[in-house]
Structure 1
Amino acid sequence: MTQPKVVKTEQEWRQQLTPAEYHVLRESGTERAFTGEYTDTKTAGVYRCRACGIELFRSDTKFESHCGWPSFYAPSDAQNVVLIEDRTLGMRRVEVRCANCDSHLGHVFHGEGYATPTDDRYCINSISLTLEPTQ
């Protein structure tokens, strides 16, 4: 990581983020399927953490998974994300968090058979991202 780790109080996060952003990023919520602003976006660019701005994904790894959320087959730098076993909701999943600010991004699934180089699907909430288009 090139940025210093972001540490804020919950009050500081509440002041910075909208209630919907706070729910997803800080409370591990999920936006409704097919409602996020980047679900169908084809714009070339860099996807950054909405909470701290660190680069997470690039548009050249985004693919159509038809799951209702933006899907990527790999982060732009594996050191910028943290994978955590998630056993909530009676399921066994792998949560994806920002390594820089510990914000919830979504989940990663492996072995679903997508025609991608990694066979991984990083299923990421649009609201946890900002897109910086390439010039």
Structure 2
Amino acid sequence: MTADTPQTSQGPSTKTYNVTKTDAEWRAELDPMAYHVLRQAGTERPFTGEYEDTTTEGVYACRACGAELFTSAEKFASHCGWPSFFDPKDSAAVELLVDDSLGMRRTEVRCANCGSHLGHVFEGEGYPTPTDQRYCINSVSLSLRPTSA
């Protein structure tokens, strides 16, 4: 699956992931908020995440499995309350699924390596980015690996 083609899905993905763990293992490894967002498709409150305004150069990895997802080169200030990226580091790094929850159609973004929920991607909002997309990602879903100076 590429980042360009959302998979239509009702409920959990049927994909087999490289990293698979039991619910108990995920709960033991992740703090309660990270577990809620990454494993239960929750959302952190806007303007509360540690990476929303960060300008540190580096790579943003999945907090659950460590897979590299986004870089600071694709991050931009959308002022929406969550970190925003206009493209993933590699289109194969994320899985896109149609999300019909909350009475609206959105495109969910998951880590392609472990299936963890990251956030949603939106198109056509008018941001001056090369892709006209905004990957709206929960800070708690990410770990920033700063570029060495």
TM over 0.5: yes
Q: Distance between the aligned counterparts of 2:140 and 2:44, measured in 1?
A: 7
Q: Secondary structure at the match of 1:114?
A: coil
Where do residues 11-90 of structure 1 align in structure 2 (5 Å cutoff)? 11-90=24-103
Instruction: Using the aligned pairs only, state the percent identity.
Output: 68
Q: Deviations over 1:64-103 (max 9, x none)?
A: 1010000000000010100000000001100000000000
Q: Distance between the aligned counterparts of 1:125 and 1:90, measured in 2?
A: 21
- Normalised by the length of structure 2, the TM-score is 0.88
Q: Distance between the aligned counterparts of 1:79 and 1:42, measured in 2?
A: 25
Q: Distance between the aligned counterparts of 2:124 and 2:64, measured in 1?
A: 30
Structure 1 stretches of 4+ moved >3 Å: none
- Normalised by the length of structure 1, the TM-score is 0.97
Q: CA RMSD in A?
A: 0.7
Where do residues 52-131 of structure 1 align in structure 2 (5 Å cutoff)? 52-131=65-144
User: Aligned partner of 1:84: which letter?
Assistant: L
Deviation at 1:42, TM superposition (A): 0.3
Unaligned runs of 5+ in 1: none
Unaligned runs of 5+ in 2: 1-16
Q: Secondary structure at the match of 2:79?
A: coil
